[in-house]
Amino acid sequence: MNDKNSVAHFELIYVIVNYGMGSRVLQKAKKNGIPGGTIFLGRGTVDNSLLKFLSLSDQRKEIVLFAVSQQNTSRILEKLNQVFQFEKPNHGIIFTTSIGEIIGSRTSVKEESQNEREVRKSMYQLIVTIVNRGAAADVIDAAEAAGSKGGTVINARGSGIHETSRLFNMEIEPEKEMVLILSKEDVTDLIVSSIQENLEIDKPGKGIIFVQDVNQTYGIYE
């Protein structure tokens, strides 16, 4: 059994890039010691009236996730930023959140202490909303009404007690949409409340919202 004090703490790195760039991100990460990761397909939204008028506001995105030991996080972010230049417009976003525990990896990881989290806490938070398919646009609209600049939508699938329908006596697991929104900490509550109210999240089967603290970021513009 691992000694709790000897286990390295991990962070989850999110990289959101244009479609087709995910494999390059993973290749670069592997060259810097990351054993692997996962790529999700999604679409991004931008708060731009001209793009919306031209029906170009939805852009195909890839979301790359991989876990990194806390001591290597800054180095990996810097290496990836050197290659992909996230500080430039439309080059993507990279950010990290803390991981409480990893099961099924080479190392079992427990959550770090509250004091350690507070030292690395940034001014941003990640709002994750999971809703029925077709409701993601309503989530984005509700979030933008409360001050959000947009988000990233990922297609998913749910199998909760309230989300299962029946067709010819067969249980069907309907598709879900997951919306990722980065927000400043001081407007997170407003955004969450707006989504909660407009999407009626408190009602069974309407969805779920959770919030994570963001530790480090590249590529966020006001």
| Sign of the CA dihedral with 195 first, then 122, 76, and 86 last | positive
Question: What does the pLDDT read at residue 190?
Answer: 96
Domains in the chain: ranges and CATH: 4-120 (3.30.70.120), 124-214 (3.30.70.120)
Give me the phi and psi of 115, to 5 degrees please: -65, -40
What type of residue sits at position 37? G
Which residue's entry shows tokens 């959101």?
A: 16
The whole-number average pLDDT for the span 79-84 is 94
Question: What would the pLDDT profile of 18-51 be if each residue is shown by its tens digit?
Answer: 889 999 999 999 999 888 888 888 887 765 544 3
Q: pTM of the entire structure?
A: 0.72
Question: What does the pLDDT read at residue 105?
Answer: 46
